Structure 1
């Protein structure tokens, strides 16, 4: 009897610690989810009323309003119909349209929102405020900042430590630019 209890307990613990992949999810809010739990990954479709939280998401993710959290990686298309914060703790591959996009890793694709923040590298950002902690290829917005720019910054205020491309805006700051601060256009000293 003790052996059966021990085996049953170990099976229960192992089933809780291993995340499963689900094809679809309907979420009212984080923790009140049907078809998947916070520990599950979604591989297909997720519809979220007031928010959701999952391990990894791959596919189409549609949210109305609230807070959407992915604890791992996101791959696919995320659309928010109203006001929402979209947060990915890992990397993102695809496109996200949300009020605030916050990706801790890198973005291979694009983020479109009022505020876009990326902890790693970013391919494309379009929004009010765009911030990249490593290298950005294209940033279009009112205020753009990246540690390094490997393409284009287009906005009212653009700033970078290392420019390997072009800045177009009212104020352009680049430590290695023709001049550190220039109006209208700035580029790397040895670009031309």
Structure 2
């Protein structure tokens, strides 16, 4: 029975990957060059300078430039000055010098600079800047519209739902508008 369940699970994984993605391996570069010429990847992609596809499920490597997708499920790696941009949704982990997510992210953004919108997970970097709602921001400077937890030297949000811990903590709805060490919602 256990062997049958394992076989069924592996078959379902391959079937879902095949139904969604057209190619298991891709190379992308400037001017929307993709080899093979597909718009979805279910496996591994290497983007050099600037690579763009609609959907990626798997692992995405960006080298000397930016990897751009509309939706990503998996891992984005920015290697050798690589950056990651996701336009609609990311589920997984983004690791890069610069992570740019204009939609919704579920998982972890880990880099030098994270520019995000809505994050259900962790932003960890030197600078975290979010125009939407974040769950946890951990960095030297954390700037967001709405956040639940901010941990850093300087934290600033319009709406804190939980707590800010840092050297300077500013929240429009905070117990104090700006307060050292800790601040929380009124």
Which TM-score tier does this pair reach, normalised by the shorter chain? 0.7 to 0.9
Alignment of 1:42-61 (within 5 A): 42-61=41-60
Aligned counterpart, 2:147: 149
CA distance in 2, matches of 1:125, 1:164: 16
The structure richer in strand per residue is: 2
Deviations 1:10-45, CA, capped at 9 Å, x for gaps: xxxxxxxxx9722210235453332234xx111111
How far off is 1:123 after superposition?
1.8
Q: Structure 1 runs of 4+ off > 6 angstroms?
A: none
Aligned with 1:176: secondary structure? coil
Specify the alignment match of 2:90 in structure 1: 92
For residue 63 of structure 1, report the CA deviation from its aligned partner.
2.3
Between 117-126 and 127-136, report the one with greater CA deviation.
Answer: 117-126
1:112 paired residue among 110, 113, 125 = 110
The separation in 2 between residues aligned to 1:51 and 1:122, in whole angstroms, is 27
Partner residue in 2 for 1:171: 168
> What stretches of structure 2 of length at least 5 have no aligned partner?
1-19
Structure 1 stretches of 5 or more lacking a match?
1-18
3-state SS, counterpart of residue 161 of structure 1: strand
Q: Matches of 1:20 and 1:124 in 2, distance apart?
A: 28
* Cα deviation digits, residues 97-128 of structure 1 (max 9, x gap): 11111111011001111111112344210111
Distance 1:63 1:146 in 2: 26
Contact 1:22–1:36 (CA under 8 A) maintained in structure 2: no
TM-score normalized by structure 1? 0.80
Aligned residues: 167
The CA RMSD measured in Å over matched residues stands at 1.8
Partner of 1:182: 179
Would the aligned equivalents of 1:121 and 1:133 in 2 still touch at CA under 8 Å?
A: no
Q: Does structure 2 conserve the Cα–Cα contact (< 8 Å) formed by 1:36 and 1:42?
A: no
Q: How does 1:66-105 map to 2 (within 5 A)?
A: 66-70=65-69, 72-105=70-103
Matched residues in 2 for 1:185 and 1:77: separation? 34
CA displacement, residues 118-155 of structure 1 (integer Å, 9 cap, x when unaligned): 123442101111112221111011110121112x2011
Contact 2:123–2:136 (CA under 8 A) maintained in structure 1: yes
